[in-house]
Homo-oligomer: A and B are copies of this chain.
Amino acid sequence: MQYFCVPALDEIDHLLLGLVQVDAARPLHELGDAVGLSPSAVQRRLLRLRTAGVIRAQVALVDPAAVGAALTAVALVALVDDDADHHAAFRDTMLAEPEVQQCFSIVGQWDYVVVLVTADLAANRALSRRLFADAPAVRRYETLPAYEAVKSGLTVPLPAAERR
């Protein structure tokens, strides 16, 4: 958003990102050994990456099933028209709902793809109804419940890190 100046990530930065993206709890000296740098150098790089917005957050990944969120579903949504207010309102709703895990505005006959995480089909139905069926801005929607999450990885592919 407002990081103008991503100051030329070098190869070591990419390596570090690849590492912390998998496990952010490792001590600095381990990361340092892995990339051939001292702990303090690693620390300063990570700080720079954080303040530059390259590292946006450091979070714990919780197993949805363990907290009673067993059902993932993908919803395709089309709004009634391309009115900017409608879109803004829809986005605000998506951002405000904790069950909405992801939301993309997309090209094509649908306007949005939304990933919903709920306890079960009943909860999903109630949520879909509330978010989509009852929303005047929504023209049409389709819910695709997931049998299974083959991959819910959250890591971003790092072109430079792969190369070597």
Contact = CB atoms under 8 A, between A and B. Distances in A.
Interface string A119-162: 10000000000000000000000101111111111111111101
A61 B144 contact: no
A156 to B, nearest CB: 5
DSSP majority for the A interface?
Answer: mixed
A93 to B, nearest CB: 10
A59 B58 contact: yes
Number of copies: 2
Contact of A67 (B54, B94, B115): B54
Given A66-B52, A104-B74, A151-B103, A59 B112 contact: no
Interface string A59-94: 111111011110011100000000000000001001
Nearest to A56: B61
B104 A72 contact: yes
Contacts of A3: 63, 66
Nearest to A113: B74
B59 A23 contact: yes
Interface of A: 3, 6, 9, 14, 17, 20-25, 52-64, 66-69, 72-74, 91, 94-95, 98-108, 110, 112-113, 115, 117-119, 142, 144-160, 162
7 shortest interchain CB distances as A-B pairs: A98-B157, A104-B146, A20-B60, A103-B150, A54-B66, A103-B151, A106-B144
